[in-house]
Structure 1
């Protein structure tokens, strides 16, 4: 997961806009199964490890520039026993691609993810640390209710 100090620095440098996180920054070392799509976790949603594997496969596709995790407003820095800890809460997964939404829905298998589908996204309106979007590519967001 992204280090607390790195996260704090990004917030400070970007007017408190949450960064889009790489897959490793969100999933690596994250054992909080309800940290993304919590309403679907006990209703058939795959594990974090299974999701991470699937999104890494998507990221390797030739028509995908990048994949990032968008954070929910519930993401926070909490204090426990005098120590600060980052509590990441994922809201959605953003895929930069030249695919159309319905094609991405099929490839990611939204039913398997217990996702509500794929929508177009404008990450610059809400997030920081957005990688370059190549010409003729768009950002599509895999969403959960």
Structure 2
């Protein structure tokens, strides 16, 4: 299965819905088939950031928690460059919907070389087709430099 092609098709469709905000996709949409280490947190790759497969595994563990109601990947503004070459679309951040407090959510980042969590807002504005966080949950956006 060509996961990259499927992801790009989804991103193009999302861009048609709202070209002013960065698309948001599921963990599986973004990580399945992705072995391009510099597609997320490229500045930390080789500087202590774990391999992309480990990032995926760790966020799947977060997604499986009872106090987590969704984990999504926010694309980088340059994702469209992947339409012109064979690279994986670049990601900017990971969004988590959770009823946990921010201190607990910060603990989930240990060893990922993330720069932190932004609580309560979409860092670059909410894409029109982005999921809504359920009542009683917080939006946490994990970011890397």
- Under a length normalisation based on structure 2, what TM-score does the superposition of the two structures give? 0.85
Alpha-carbon displacement from aligned partner over 1:80-128 (angstroms, at most 9, x marks no partner)? 4xxxx5741111111000112221111332xx00111112142382324
TM-superposed deviation, 1:13 = 2.2
Partner-residue secondary structure (3-state), 2:134: coil
Partner-residue secondary structure (3-state), 1:133: coil
Contact 1:20–1:128 under 8 Å retained in 2: no
Q: 1:119 to 1:17 in 2, by over 3 A?
A: closer
TM-superposed deviation, 1:41 = 0.3
Q: CA RMSD, aligned part only?
A: 1.9
Distance 1:55 1:40 in 2: 17
> What is the aligned partner in structure 2 of residue 95 from structure 1?
96
Distance 1:20 1:29 in 2: 17
Of the structure 1 ranges 131-140 and 1-10, higher mean CA displacement relative to structure 2 is found in 1-10
> What is the aligned partner in structure 1 of residue 71 from structure 2?
67
Gaps of 5+ in 2: none
Pairing of 1:1-145 with structure 2 (within 5 A): 1=3, 3=6, 4-77=8-81, 78-80=83-85, 87-109=88-110, 112-123=111-122, 125-145=125-145
Gaps of 5+ in 1: none
Q: 1:40 to 1:72 in 2, by over 3 A?
A: same
Of the structure 1 ranges 52-61 and 113-122, higher mean CA displacement relative to structure 2 is found in 113-122
- Under a length normalisation based on structure 1, what TM-score does the superposition of the two structures give? 0.85
